[in-house]
A and B are shown apart, each in its own frame.
Chain A
Amino acid sequence: MSAFLERQTDETFVLNLGPQHPATHGVLRVKLLMDGEYILAAEPVLGYIHRMHEKMGENRTWIQYLPNTPRLDYLHALVYNQIYVNAVERASGIEVPERAEYIRVITVELNRISSHLVWFGAFVMDLGGFTPLLYAFDDREHILDLLEALTGSRLTYCYFRFGGVSCDIDDNFITGTKTFIKRMRERLKMYRSLVTGNIILIKRIKDNGPISEEMCRKYGATGPVARGSNINFDVRKHEPYSVYPEFDFDVPVYSECDSMARYMVRMDEMEQSLRIIEQALEKLPDGPFLLAKAPKVVKPPKGDYYQAVEAARGSLGMRIVSDGTNNCYRLKWRSPTFSNLSLFGEACQGMLLPDALALMGSLDLVIPEIDR
């Protein structure tokens, strides 16, 4: 119990935030114990869209489960494809052609930018600025068009396969992506002058919602939340997977621990993702995009396997236990927002309600991923 809770209060009341509230970005409910405008205690209530994806994993064959994966996080869906195929490939010892790995990185990074753009628009809208959302969705539309032409879907992509990707990228995609990179750099410049330097934004989120390094560790916070708290941790660098070691990119880290730091991390990350895509397009090797003998049925050998990747919201993990049959024996998703949200109750104690909403926005919540 914090010192704030022990304070004598004359009158408190319970305020329900959600489950239908624009600031919670989905069906999340937060039970707030209030003392006037100040929060004494907050308890997130989860499970409104719990679908038991982990049980579904046990009931389906390995390949049948693949279309489930993007449904967990509709904003950065491809990384869920990636972690699942990577985990199964690691367990079954499937080698992936280099071109396929490059295509995976290009599409995952494009998807990461589109995810950050939604966060950017929604976060600024939470703070009362409506216009940036429209700019961000305009940019995001370009990415969705590129990915739709390639994969056939706009949000819940099921593009990766065990041993590669379902189809090759064409010249249209490559030129389209190059044009997008050029455009996005200009737009990021505009966002910096239009939003980042805006005095209203700075007043709202500077020194707002401090999350200490120690709090990150105790709750297992990762991704931009940890990197805004002076923790240099990015799975792409820490436990390199795919072809990430081939690219030159930086991990933005800010030490202020406030909402502004988390905002800056994500803004810088978009630029870094552009750099990765640019290098990947330049180095893109020829060759098959899918193994010639890509397995139609996989039966990973008995045992348990772990896979981690860097999703837009942090370290995404997956543990699979195989009993050597057609179906997975046990499948566990470690979702980054689940851990990131779990610190909200402690972090928002003693804050004004609107400030707590700014803090919540800076966590970048995607509820289907928390509820699974």
Chain B
Amino acid sequence: MQTDNLKRNLTLIPGVTLQEIVYATKGYNLDVQANAESVVQVAQEIDKAGFFIEAITGVDWLGEKAALKKEADDKAKAAAAAAATESEQQPSLPVNESPALLEDELEIVYDFNHYTSFCRLTVRVRVPRSNPQLPTISAIYPGADWHERETHDFFGIKFLGHPNLIPLLLPEDSDFHPLLKDFKA
């Protein structure tokens, strides 16, 4: 099978992990986690396997790290409290301080599909919010050109090496990125 080949080739790329998804509940078949260094190679493999490009978009995960930290802290506190009541002692055990807050990220989501095989494929790349940039794949898929321009419009993500990264849907002089969660009109 062509897709089995692709899966094997993708796992060989450093920094890439695959996850099979249940189509009936999620609507796609394969989730590929990549990073800014590997995304071009991933796109090349997908191109070789004959997939076509559906779309590229972003997701702003502002506040995700804080929520995760709070969750971990609450858990640690609850565990400490439980331990304290169990041993009927004053809470002598110090509550584990979780590490400093990590920076929130922007996620770039690439959707690919195949004309003949039943395999809808999603590639995800995360970049830091303060410096969102990754290489373009428009040299591999010319169709990615517009999708990347749109993603740059909405999220301010820079696609390095893009031939024409100017506003596509927003006004030509716009310097704002409306789909960022901290965007205020």
Residues of A near any B CB (own CB < 8 A): 46-47, 50, 52, 54-55, 58, 87, 90, 93, 216-222, 226, 231-233, 238-239, 303-308, 315, 317, 319, 321, 329-330, 332, 334, 338-339, 342-343, 346, 371-372
Q: Decide: A90 and B27 in contact? CB cutoff 8 A.
A: yes
Q: How many residues of B contact A (CB 8 A)?
A: 34
Interchain CB contact under 8 A, B111 and A317:
yes
Given contacts A54-B154, A218-B141, A218-B143, 20 further A-B contacts (CB under 8 A): A47-B170, A50-B169, A58-B179, A90-B25, A217-B115, A218-B142, A220-B52, A221-B52, A222-B52, A238-B118, A239-B118, A304-B59, A305-B25, A305-B27, A308-B113, A319-B111, A329-B59, A332-B109, A342-B145, A343-B142
**A303 and B27 contact, CB distance less than 8 A:** no
Given contacts A47-B169, A306-B27, A306-B28, contact A334 B54 (CB under 8 A): yes
Q: Is the CB of A55 within 8 A of B120?
A: no
**Do A334 and B55 contact each other (CB < 8 Å), given the known contacts A55-B179, A217-B115, A238-B118?**
yes
Q: Does B171 contact A (CB under 8 A)?
A: yes
Closest to A334 in B: B55
B118 touches A317 (CB 8 A): no
Report whether A319 and B57 are in contact in the complex, using a CB–CB cutoff of 8 Å.
Answer: yes
B59→A315 contact, CB < 8 A? no
B119 → chain A closest CB, angstroms = 10
Given contacts A47-B171, A319-B109, A321-B59, contact A338 B146 (CB under 8 A): yes
A216 to B59 Cα, complex, angstroms: 27
CB pair A332–B118 under 8 Å, yes or no, is no
- Among candidates B27, B168, B178, B179, residue contacting A47 with C-beta atoms closer than 8 Å: B168
Interchain CA distance A47-B109 in the complex, whole Å: 22
Contact B55 A317 (CB under 8 A): yes
Cβ of B136 within 8 Å of any chain A Cβ, yes or no, is no
Most buried by B among A58, A238, A303, A315: A238
List 12 interface pairs A-B (beta carbons < 8 Å), by A numbering: A55-B179, A90-B25, A217-B51, A217-B52, A217-B115, A220-B55, A232-B115, A233-B116, A305-B25, A306-B26, A317-B111, A346-B142
Check A55 against B178 for contact (C-beta < 8 Å). yes
Q: Are A306 and B179 in contact (CB under 8 A)?
A: no
B168 touches A46 (CB 8 A): yes
Q: Which of B165-185 contact A (CB under 8 A)?
A: 167-171, 178-179
In the complex, residue of chain A having the shortest beta-carbon distance to the beta carbon of B122: A306
Residue numbers in B under 8 Å from A46 (CB-CB): 168-169
**Interchain CB contact under 8 A, A220 and B54:** yes
- Chain A residues, CB < 8 A from B132: none
